[in-house]
Amino acid sequence: MVRIGKDYMIFDWFRTRRDYEMPVVIPEVELPKKEQEQYSIGVTDDNRITLRIGYTTLTMNQQGAGNLIRQLELFASQLEEKNEQS
């Protein structure tokens, strides 16, 4: 341990002096924002259709994709009818 001046020690490994505090400076860091995809549609190597929504991926064949399209069309028409009635 080396003493400089009256009470200051350069190497105070065990923090024997408690009358001082080390300043804590935490810089504010802003993480870059990624553009989030709401959904994506693609085709796999074996000609299956993939629908990714958030963290969930749905893989289906052509018949399954056709059924999904028909269901979505039905739901869309039901919503239109409901909006017309209101």
Domain borders along the chain are 36-86
pLDDT tens for 37-55 read 788 999 999 999 999 988 8
Give the strand order in the sheet containing 56-60: 39-43, 49-53, 56-60
Reported confidence tier of residue 8, pLDDT bands at 50, 70, 90: low
Q: Tens digit of pLDDT for each residue in 68-80?
A: 999 999 999 999 9
State residue 30's pLDDT score.
80
Task: Write down the pLDDT at residue 9.
Answer: 57
- Predicted TM-score (pTM) of the model is 0.51
